[in-house]
Amino acid sequence: MRYVPVEFNGEEKQLRFDFNALAELEANLGKGVKAIFSEDNVGFHTIRALYCYGLRWKDRGLTIERAGALLQGKLDEGVVLNDLLPDLIKALALSGCMGKEAKEKVIAEAADNEKN
């Protein structure tokens, strides 16, 4: 598993951060991935960019505005901003950009969930 399944409007999408997605994300935000999460608050701009670049590997035409519309749909369903972070963190961990230990932990948790 190299992606995290996420649902938007009843449709499953695959959140994954490959090398190109991480490079585009850093260019868009003007800072490295680790710096993004070292800040006290991760806001709307950052979350929208993360989802956009993480979903783009399967949907090359995804724009930042369309990603925002998908996220707005989640907010309209009652999801709060902080609830959008765990899937992002899992997908980033799977990419390896958060270190080997974080990646192995997410893989082990997924294997445990499949057993149960």
pLDDT per residue over 77-108, tens digit each? 999 988 999 999 899 988 888 778 877 888 78
Mean pLDDT of 28-52: 85
- Residue 63's pLDDT band, with cuts at 50, 70 and 90, is very high
| Crossing angle of helices 85-95 and 100-115, rounded to 10° | 120
- Domain enclosing residue 68, as ranges: 4-115
The residue to which tokens 């899937």 are assigned:
87
| pLDDT attached to residue 59 | 93
Tally of structural domains, the chain? 1
Do residues 7 and 15 touch, judged by C-beta distance below 8 A? no
Q: Which residue has the higher pLDDT, 110 or 69?
A: 69
What pTM was estimated for this model as a whole?
0.86
